[in-house]
Amino acid sequence: MPFTLNIEEVREFSLSLPHVTEDFPFDQFTLVQRIGGKIFSLIPLEKGGQMNLKCDPERAIELREEYPAIIPGWHMSKTNWNTLYFESLPEALVKELITHSYTLVLNSLTKKVRAQLT
């Protein structure tokens, strides 16, 4: 069931995942969330209600076909990133996609970096 997620709820969920950090490396309006120093989420605060998440390329296409609120990543690799308008998506799906992005990036980290996180 769709409902209105707000930025704080999205942030709180992301921050509940182990070892997540946040910063503003690009400007004062784009919140970046990272695991092991690598980006898994970008939230343009001035736009509200949207975020960019990394996604498996095949799944990214499926999601875009099924949900009009999921489009190719804005200012990102269209193959590996989606932009979600999360106010139009079910909470469970948004949380699943945040976790998916986080896991993809975590699994791409070197063994050494992953070991430093534990």
Q: Which two tokens stand for residue 39?
A: 């980006």
Contact 14, 33 (CB under 8 A): yes
Q: Where are the domains of the chain?
A: 7-117
End-to-end CA distance of the chain: 36
pLDDT in tens, 33-49: 999 999 999 999 988 78
What pLDDT does 117 receive? 87
Closest C-alpha among 116, 98, 89, 73 to residue 17: 98
Q: What is the pLDDT of residue 3?
A: 56
The fold adopted by the segment(s) 7-117 is Aspartate Aminotransferase, domain 1 (3.90.1150)
Band of pLDDT at residue 61, cut at 50, 70 and 90: very high
What would the mean pLDDT of 96-113 be, rounded to a whole number?
Answer: 96
- State both tokens at 79: 């193959």
- Whole-prediction pTM: 0.92
